[in-house]
Structure 1
Amino acid sequence: MSHIALYRAWRPQTFRDMVGQQHIIQTLQNAIREQRVSHAYLFNGPRGTGKTTAAKVMAKAINCERGPATEPCNECDACRGITAGTIMDVVEIDAASNRGIDEIRDIRDKVRYAPSEVRYKVYIIDEVHMLTSEAFNALLKTLEEPPGHVIFILATTEPHKLPATIISRCQRFDFRQVSLPEQTERLRQICEAEEISAEADALAYIARLSDGGMRDAISLLEQASAFGGGRITLDGAVEVTGGLAAEQFAQLADAIQTGNAADILPLVEGLMQAGKSPDKCLENLIYYFRDLLVLKLAPGGRASTERIVDQQRYHAMAEAFSSDRLFRMIDILNQYQNEIRHASLPQTIFEVALMKVSTLSNDGGAPAAASGASNGMPAASGDVKLMQQRIDTLERKLEEIAKAGVHPIAEGRPQDSAASKNPNRGAFRSAGGGGVLPRQTIKLDPYLAAADSQATNQVRMRWNEILQRVKEARITVHAWLVDGEPVSAADNTVLVAFKNTMHRETTEKPANRELIERIFQEAFGRPVHLATVMFKDWSAASVAAPAQVAEPLRMEQQDESGQVPNQPEWVEEAVKLFGEDLVVVEDK
């Protein structure tokens, strides 16, 4: 049996057959019983929850030859004709393809005539939010003064796109997503009736994937049945829907928990070679970590773990993550899920997302344990703590040096021209004698004084544009810079505050800094440097800082002599009348 035949066979023909909408069904039945049927209804809710089906059952109930009845008999000529679509007085219109004013005018002209075959004329307009503004205006006139023999039923998944004048003239019913137990039970009934062998875990997994839509659940059931030859197993359902198996979940979670990027990349490559979709994998991971979070915060309840077979290993994995880290990881993965749908390189976005969440520690912010230098194994916790202590000691020493007004320069390396122009830029070598670790120590006083300046506001307003340019130039740099926030602009320098130490250090690497400063120059039309600071240090300094006056970062284009050209007279007059504050008016 094909999916279309299966869906039609199990499409509700009466109110009692509908799943999950008892509150709406009771209200409609009471209105029919008391003969208080409204002239216009608005059914809105997620896809596949029964909006159009309820509209057709409603049309049959009020036009049934044995009624109006709270349940259609489905035996009389009117009920059978409406089910088959042969009753001309019950019209179903797809507003997505008939969205113009001419179609609505045609309805307006025909509603004046009495029904010829049944008791009421019923117009079911599906996806009504797709109508044009002119069509809505034409429909509004009909809804204001409807004939007594006409009933309108509007269905939509996006009610916020409807004019308030339309909504106010309808009785609105909000269809909700069908719950997992209700969906699972209906799928079990279908399998029994169709003689399909199905595992309980497989039905629960299919119900979970449908996002509360009964129609989607039946479609996935038919797909899994065809794949398994009439037998539906959990592994088969996972395979045919493009999901991840339990072992793949566990491997990815282990690599993320230990912060081992050397294991993450081969796992992602294996998933891609198996034909998995990056956006689907990311969606499944969000569900997986959500289940871990539910298990930690509500251990006494029943966590939704239909995808997981090995419950013992699942509990052990939940213990390996803190609640703060799980919250932060879900936020990050959700942000990348929005980007991956429109990305030209979805696999790269998926890899960056996994590597980013792997850098989080159990406090949700600091870097996780570093990987081994040669064998790819995680470093011992004692070594990590010792390294962190040494870094903290060096940071305190640099802060003391900065307070004294001395700016350290990379050892054995002369200042370049950019550094000589901007004395706030500096770096030091790591304790192991390796490459330059680009950690800045700067005086915050000039930036504190310019925190609310016009130049700072200009940088903030254009920050999203700058991030987009950086993303187009190199997405890996964008992944680190997006954690920062511009807090001030002074002395031809933009100061960016970071919450995460690793994000700041990676942004300050010479290659990354050079790219960002090049974007600054393209955006502002002149050389602009980058300075960074930890957000906690900026906040502490903001509280204790005295009011000072600093030279703001001027964004105007200089002439050949290096001077900012005079403004036109009309600009100077406008400044005198309205002030220097820049106001941006957005047309919503």
Structure 2
Amino acid sequence: MSHIALYRAWRPQTFQDMVGQQHIIQTLQNAIREDRVSHAYLFNGPRGTGKTTTAKVLAKAINCERGPATEPCNVCDACRGITAGTVMDVVEIDAASNRGIDEIRDIRDKVRYAPSEVRFKVYIIDEVHMLTSEAFNALLKTLEEPPAHVIFILATTEPHKLPATIISRCQRFDFRQVSLPEQTERLGRICAEEGISADEDALAYIARLSDGGMRDAISLLEQVSAYGGEHITLSDAVEVTGGLAAEQFEQLAEAIRDRNAGAILPLVEGLMQAGKSADKCLENLVYYFRDLLVLKLAPQGRAATERIVDQDKYRSMAASFSSELLFRMIDVLNQYQLEIRHAALPQTIFEVALMKICTLQDTSGGRASAPADAPAPEAASQGAPGGEVQRLQQRIDTLERKIEQLLQSGVRPEGGGAGQAQASPASRGGGKGTNNFGARSGAGGMGGSIARVKLDPFLAAAESQASGQVRMKWADILQRVKGHNISTHAWFVNGEPVSAAENTILVAFKNSIHRETTEKPANREVIERVLHEVYNRPVRLATVMLKEWQTASEKGPAPADELTLLQEDERGGPPPEPEWVEEAVKLFGEDLVVIEDK
């Protein structure tokens, strides 16, 4: 059976046959039952979700010779004629090819005449958003004063392109994507009726590729059944649709895990030689790492892993990556997925994306990938002989290291001698103090230095839910920044979100020039405005050099009692230097300016 024949055979002929749109069907059936059918409907939703099919079923239901009925009989001449498209009073128009004012004027002239074969004239205008503005104006006049015997059904995938005056005169119904279980159940029913045996994981794989469209799912099923014959397997579905097999996923993931960029290029070349699509491979790889992330964050739940049959290998691979690294890898792949669709060399973009995630550093220090039942380091040290002494010694070493950093940044302990100390860059931030979000305000320009950021709150929150949400939304944030200011995006895109704490997002940069330019007041204002739009509340931006973040991540955040002592030391330090100190540094340089305590 051909694809067209299969689709026609399984195209819904009644409301009961519709999949996934029960809320819309019930509303329309109640309107028919109570004789409250509207003069105009707007059906909106993704492709292949049943908009035009519902419109035809509605036309049959209100014109059925045994009705109007909540279900068409599909036996009378009216129902059969509408199904076949031979009833002149039910007109289906493709607005993509009939988008001018002349076609709409023709409709306006003909609606005045009563129907000749059925009760109601029904005009189904598909892809109505393609009409010109003149055509919309002509249609608006008809919708304002419609004859009682005429019903308009407008269908579109882009309702935002319709004038508000058109939308306000229609009853709007939003069709949703069909869920995976509903699609899988319908595909299994089709296979049973057609005498085709299919594995459950193969049908689930086909349903996922259809992106919520039942029509696309049936098309893929026909394509796979033509290849696999009377039995459809997961490998057949992967092969026909251009996806990656489980072994290929594992090979790519192993190369990324081992940071073996040299092994990636031959693997990609082999995939391209096998006829795989670069953009489809990249899309499937995003799903693969997403499933790894689901297994790590929700190990007790049933993850959607239709592409992998061997669950043991899958879980073993998930244990090789930390949650933070998986978040960052998915963000990077998603950014390249937006670019590969319009790239002249998609294979090259695919290779660059893989090498990019291959070089990402795991800043979690291995903490995220530790088994859930492993004892905490402190607990292990307490149980060992001398563990308490060792733990205290580590805390003392950490505290001494923190105090040394504070002294280097210009903070002196109380009662210190009247020695000389050079003004450090961190102390010449133009009098900027600590803000309300746990991060120091930057100097705000290329000429000034950027103050150090307290990393301990961010280190403690690196694996928090808030930090994970930032990484998931990072592609959207970058896109919004690009829409506000392209030059700001050009510098900001080089940063990576590493943590979020106290209404502040910490972004790490490899290059100091990228960080300093991002910290400019104009660029910071654009970025924080975008963050306010995304989170619907004020959110601050803090920056740090990637090397500094990685070093601090290896050491880990200081315990709470050490943080308290450090905060007391900072409060007891000297106040910010006055503005004339900064001016003196600009005139004579740091080597010639010395600040003495009197």
Provide the TM-score with structure 2 as the length reference.
Answer: 0.66
How far residue 293 of structure 1 moved from its aligned partner, in angstroms, is 1.8
Whole-angstrom CA distance in 1 between matches of 2:126 and 2:69: 24
SS at match of 2:319: helix
SS at match of 2:172: strand
Q: Which runs of 5+ in 2 are unaligned?
A: 369-402, 412-424, 433-440, 449-480, 498-504, 516-542, 550-566, 584-598
Whole-angstrom CA distance in 2 between matches of 1:295 and 1:225: 31
Per-residue Cα deviation, 1:177-202 (whole angstroms, up to 9, x for no partner): 11111111111111121112322221
Q: Relative contact order: is structure 1 or structure 2 higher (C-alpha 8 Å, sep ≥ 6)?
A: 2
Per-residue Cα deviation, 1:90-114 (whole angstroms, up to 9, x for no partner): 0111111111111111111111111
How far residue 205 of structure 1 moved from its aligned partner, in angstroms, is 0.8
Whole-angstrom CA distance in 1 between matches of 2:579 and 2:57: 73
Letter in 2 for 1:192: A
Whole-angstrom CA distance in 1 between matches of 2:447 and 2:89: 66
Aligned pairs for 1:53-132 within 5 A = 53-132=53-132
How far residue 176 of structure 1 moved from its aligned partner, in angstroms, is 0.9
* 2:162 paired with 1:151: no
SS at match of 2:511: helix
* Distance change (3 Å), C-alpha of 1:300 and 1:403: same
- Alignment partner, residue 238 of structure 1: 238
Letter in 2 for 1:284: N
SS at match of 2:25: helix
How far residue 143 of structure 1 moved from its aligned partner, in angstroms, is 1.1
* 2:545 paired with 1:534: yes
Per-residue Cα deviation, 1:108-148 (whole angstroms, up to 9, x for no partner): 11111111110001011111111111211111111111111
Q: Is the 8 A contact 1:121 1:151 kept in 2?
A: yes
Output the aligned Cα RMSD: 4.0
SS at match of 1:320: coil
How far residue 273 of structure 1 moved from its aligned partner, in angstroms, is 1.9
* Distance change (3 Å), C-alpha of 1:225 and 1:342: same
- Alignment partner, residue 171 of structure 2: 171
* Distance change (3 Å), C-alpha of 1:36 and 1:321: same
Letter in 2 for 1:352: V
Letter in 1 for 2:61: A
Q: Is the 8 A contact 2:286 2:333 kept in 1?
A: yes
* Distance change (3 Å), C-alpha of 1:298 and 1:533: closer
Count of paired positions: 446
How far residue 297 of structure 1 moved from its aligned partner, in angstroms, is 2.2
Letter in 1 for 2:96: A
How far residue 500 of structure 1 moved from its aligned partner, in angstroms, is 4.1
- Alignment partner, residue 504 of structure 1: 511
- Alignment partner, residue 304 of structure 2: 304
Letter in 2 for 1:58: L
How far residue 338 of structure 1 moved from its aligned partner, in angstroms, is 0.4
Whole-angstrom CA distance in 1 between matches of 2:493 and 2:13: 55
Q: Is the 8 A contact 2:427 2:576 kept in 1?
A: no
Letter in 1 for 2:11: R
- Alignment partner, residue 210 of structure 1: 210
Q: Is the 8 A contact 1:199 1:234 kept in 2?
A: yes
How far residue 255 of structure 1 moved from its aligned partner, in angstroms, is 1.8
How far residue 360 of structure 1 moved from its aligned partner, in angstroms, is 2.9
* 2:345 paired with 1:342: no
How far residue 16 of structure 1 moved from its aligned partner, in angstroms, is 0.5
Letter in 1 for 2:169: R
Whole-angstrom CA distance in 2 between matches of 1:362 and 1:145: 65
Q: Which runs of 5+ in 1 are unaligned?
A: 369-395, 405-440, 471-477, 485-496, 509-531, 552-588
* Distance change (3 Å), C-alpha of 1:498 and 1:8: same
Aligned pairs for 1:320-335 within 5 A = 320-335=320-335
How far residue 262 of structure 1 moved from its aligned partner, in angstroms, is 2.1
Q: Is the 8 A contact 1:480 1:504 kept in 2?
A: no
SS at match of 2:226: helix
Letter in 1 for 2:511: R
- Alignment partner, residue 501 of structure 2: none
Whole-angstrom CA distance in 2 between matches of 1:257 and 1:354: 11
* Distance change (3 Å), C-alpha of 1:188 and 1:97: same
- Alignment partner, residue 413 of structure 1: none
Per-residue Cα deviation, 1:481-532 (whole angstroms, up to 9, x for no partner): 4659xxxxxxxxxxxx99446x338989xxxxxxxxxxxxxxxxxxxxxxx9
Letter in 2 for 1:281: C
Per-residue Cα deviation, 1:396-420 (whole angstroms, up to 9, x for no partner): 999999989xxxxxxxxxxxxxxxx
Taking only the aligned residue pairs, the percentage that are identical comes to 74
SS at match of 1:154: strand
- Alignment partner, residue 50 of structure 2: 50
Letter in 2 for 1:504: N
* Distance change (3 Å), C-alpha of 1:321 and 1:536: closer
* Distance change (3 Å), C-alpha of 1:32 and 1:447: same
Provide the TM-score with structure 1 as the length reference.
Answer: 0.67
